[in-house]
């Protein structure tokens, strides 16, 4: 028996590039082999429970616009109805994974203990559906930014009682993720930062955040959770400044607290843009340090300057994203989570399905283009040509030398650098052949 929410919408099929059916995949063919691996295993798509099923369509200037049968979201019966609808959509799309926060999947109760019992009840309910439909949990996480108790931070709160509440909350969400066989556990610190330095002891807060993350890692080992612990960078919003600013900042933080071998990064397209980077920059930074974990795929409106969390639709950008992911050897335990929401005028159930269909096709096109570029090898060849002189014995020995021996060769006139073209336009034209 179905809920009827998606009445008239059949499971989405791959129909190929010439299809004009808006509810068919034109490019996403899960079983197609790309560089020896199935497309679905490269992309590892996940639906984000919060945007698709918990968000009600509000914005800073207006209330909810969506009318859903599981509203108001304050009752366990309706939480189960929401789960029924969510799993129906996972089935319609044929996605292998979903991601969740505690508050998305169960209403908070009057006490922590009651909320915990509800989390246990709803994850039992999920477990049966996951088994039945063969759908897995990519990651779970704790929402430690919406409730007023978190307004001054979770692990970085000046009040140790809030730190304690955060510890209990993360423990409960790690337990739930473990129970659901989750492949990763994510920490995004939306309130781990500050509104003003006038009331903030930054060094102390960072030490608390480092200690907290070490406890998370210890607990992972204690319960035998084999997934990856991921932190998700974002420079600001909701806080004026967030400590996990971008990939490079997070890597420095992880090294400072000795966690670089234990924690990787969950990178998000829109957060990269907010930090003044491109998405491929963030991926390349993480990959160069062996810390690429997973991605939150979405896009910002480049004019508004907000984290608008739209579904991706820019194939050239997405192609470069997957190019760097493929070069790094893939996503490992990670995946492509659509941390993206409908526009608040997109009221209908079909909008929700079509948004994911389009986004999956955009990612598939990007992946295809990325694989074709790698297989053609043009960019790699240009790269090795550009750095070829570093493979010579003279250049290698220079790296073992010191400033004075190097300077001697320059002064004697033996070394006289000749500027060469970086060929950026030629390379951009090359990429355009594939996208
Ligand atoms: C918000 C974040 C959030 C995390 C999970 O900007 O992207 O959705 O992915 O807490
Ligand atoms: Ni985000
Ligand atoms: Ni995210």
pLDDT at 304: 86
Residue 7 lies in a domain: no
Check if the beta carbon of residue 46 is closer than 8 Å to that of residue 336.
yes
Residue 381 lies in a domain: no
Model confidence pLDDT, tens digit, residues 238-248: 999 999 999 99
Number of structural domains (the chain) is 2
- Identify whether residues 50 and 130 lie together within a single domain: yes
CA distance 234 to 244: 6
Residue 8 lies in a domain: no
Residue 329 lies in a domain: yes
Residues annotated as part of the active site: 101, 104
Q: φ and ψ at 97, to 5 degrees?
A: -140, 165
- Identify whether residues 308 and 410 lie together within a single domain: no
- Identify whether residues 226 and 296 lie together within a single domain: yes
The CATH number for 265's domain is 3.20.20.150
- Identify whether residues 216 and 329 lie together within a single domain: yes
pLDDT per residue rounded down to tens, the chain (435 residues): 799 999 999 999 999 999 999 999 999 999 999 999 999 999 999 999 999 999 999 999 999 999 999 999 999 999 999 999 999 999 999 999 999 999 999 999 999 999 999 999 999 999 999 999 999 999 999 999 999 999 999 999 999 999 999 999 999 999 999 999 999 999 999 999 999 999 999 999 999 999 999 999 999 999 999 999 999 999 999 999 999 999 999 999 999 999 999 999 999 999 999 999 999 999 999 999 999 999 999 999 989 888 999 999 999 999 999 999 999 999 999 999 999 999 999 999 999 999 999 999 999 999 999 999 999 999 999 999 999 999 999 999 999 999 999 999 999 999 999 999 999 999 999 999 999
- Identify whether residues 160 and 246 lie together within a single domain: yes
Supply angle C-alpha 263, 181, 223, rounded to 5.
60
Instruction: Give yes or no for residue 296 CB within 6 A of ligand 1.
Output: yes
Nearest atom, ligand 1, residue 143 CA = 10
Hey, what long-range contacts does 77-84 have (CB within 8 A, 24 or more apart)? Answer: 79/105, 79/106, 79/107, 79/118, 79/122, 80/122, 80/125, 81/3, 82/53, 82/54, 83/122, 83/125, 83/126, 83/129, 84/2, 84/3
- Ligand 1 probe mutation, 98, 103, 234, most atoms within 8 A of CB: 234
User: Ligand 3 mean position to 231 CA, how many Å?
Assistant: 10
- Identify whether residues 171 and 285 lie together within a single domain: yes
- Identify whether residues 301 and 401 lie together within a single domain: no
- Identify whether residues 370 and 408 lie together within a single domain: no
Residue 406 lies in a domain: yes
- Ligand 1 probe mutation, 51, 55, 232, most atoms within 8 A of CB: 232
Taking CA atoms only, the protein residue closest to ligand 1 atom 8 is: 339
- Identify whether residues 178 and 246 lie together within a single domain: yes
Model confidence pLDDT, tens digit, residues 160-169: 999 999 999 9
User: Ligand 1 mean position to 299 CA, how many Å?
Assistant: 13
User: Ligand 2 mean position to 399 CA, how many Å?
Assistant: 42
Q: E-assigned strands of 50-123?
A: 97-101
* Residues belonging to the chain: 435
- Identify whether residues 356 and 254 lie together within a single domain: yes
In the structure, ligand 3 is a single-atom ion and the residues with CB under 5 Å from it are: 268, 296, 339
Nearest atom, ligand 1, residue 145 CA = 10
CA distance 308 to 322: 22
Residue 26 lies in a domain: no
Instruction: Give yes or no for residue 118 CB within 6 A of ligand 1.
Output: no
Instruction: Give yes or no for residue 191 CB within 6 A of ligand 1.
Output: no
SS3 194: strand
- Identify whether residues 190 and 266 lie together within a single domain: yes
- Identify whether residues 287 and 413 lie together within a single domain: no
Q: What burial class does residue 375 get, using C-beta atoms within 10 Å of its C-beta: 0-12 exposed, 13-18 middle, 19+ buried? A: exposed
Residue 399: domain span: 394-432
């Amino acid at each position: 028996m179905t809920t009827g929410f998606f009445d008239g919408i059949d499971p989405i099929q791959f129909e190929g590039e010439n299809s004009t059916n808006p509810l068919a995949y034109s490019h996403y063919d899960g079983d197609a082999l790309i560089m020896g691996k199935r497309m679905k295993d490269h992309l590892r798509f996940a639906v984000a429970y919060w945007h698709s099923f918990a968000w009600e369509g509000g914005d800073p200037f207006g209330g909810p616009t969506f009318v859903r049968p599981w509203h108001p979201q304050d009752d366990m019966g309706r939480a189960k109805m929401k789960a029924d609808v969510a799993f129906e959509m996972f089935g319609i799309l044929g996605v292998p994974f979903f991601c969740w926060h505690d508050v998305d999947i169960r209403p908070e109760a009057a006490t922590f203990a009651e909320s915990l019992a509800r989390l246990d009840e709803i994850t039992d309910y999920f477990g049966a559906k996951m088994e039945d439909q063969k759908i897995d949990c990519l990651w779970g996480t704790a929402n430690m930014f919406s409730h007023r108790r978190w307004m001054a931070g979770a692990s970085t709160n000046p009040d140790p009682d809030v730190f304690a509440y955060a510890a209990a909350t993360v423990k409960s969400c790690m337990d739930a993720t473990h129970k659901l066989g989750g492949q990763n556990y994510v920490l995004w610190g939306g309130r781990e930062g500050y509104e003003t330095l006038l009331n903030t002891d930054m060094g102390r807060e960072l030490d608390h955040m480092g200690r907290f993350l070490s406890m998370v890692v210890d607990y992972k080992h204690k319960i035998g959770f084999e997934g990856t612990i991921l932190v998700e960078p974002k420079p600001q919003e909701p806080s004026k400044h967030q400590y996990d600013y971008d990939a490079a900042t997070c890597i420095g933080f992880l090294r400072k607290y000795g966690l670089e071998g234990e924690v990787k990064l969950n990178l998000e397209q829109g957060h990269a843009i907010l930090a003044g980077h491109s998405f491929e920059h963030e991926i390349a930074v993480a990959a160069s340090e062996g810390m690429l974990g997973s991605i939150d795929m979405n896009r910002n409106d480049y004019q508004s300057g907000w984290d608008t969390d739209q579904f991706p639709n820019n194939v050239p950008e997405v192609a470069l994203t997957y190019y760097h992911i493929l070069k790094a050897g893939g996503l490992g335990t990670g995946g492509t989570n659509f941390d993206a929401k409908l526009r608040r005028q997109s009221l209908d159930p079909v909008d929700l399905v079509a948004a994911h269909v389009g986004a999956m096709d955009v990612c598939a096109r990007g992946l295809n283009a990325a694989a074709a570029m790698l297989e053609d090898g043009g960019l790699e060849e240009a790269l090795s040509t550009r750095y070829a002189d570093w493979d010579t014995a003279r250049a290698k020995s220079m790296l073992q030398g010191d400033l004075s021996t190097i300077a001697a060769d320059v002064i004697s006139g033996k070394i006289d650098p000749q500027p060469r073209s970086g060929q950026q336009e030629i390379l951009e034209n090359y990429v355009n052949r594939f996208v």
